[in-house]
Structure 1
């Protein structure tokens, strides 16, 4: 199982900041978290009226930015399981 995150990237200063806004737990190996899946589940992020501006989706692993890992370990960001995300994405409107 893997962990994925939606990350708000602040890049106007150095060092850049990688802030998790949504952390998806227990993602089965081989599955990907996509914009389409997130939006169907009711999650949409962005800035300045532009969807997904300064936000990205990534699998979190040992190569992820250290500040992102630290923030996730400290509990930042909303948490959801992959199972719940898929359930929300396929729920009737």
Structure 2
């Protein structure tokens, strides 16, 4: 069985006022789904939360889901701290993926 990688990620809207925590086994595909409005009624579509500002790789789905729950249960300040530590300018880390 091939090793898979799982990702926990944070998306933000343009102004940084909204954050979204997600988990996936294919980060590029999932971010593209968010950006394209794949699910028009979703939270990320309604609030235009399409900018990838942070992500982390994990080796198993169980660890990824546990990390997602930890982040979702944590404060906004903790999420902002993670983003600031790795991406202080809040750049869209998926920039150039789909060109």
TM-score normalised by structure 1 residue count: 0.34
Greater relative CO, 1 or 2 (CA 8 Å, sep 6+): 1
Higher strand share: 1
Higher helix share: 2
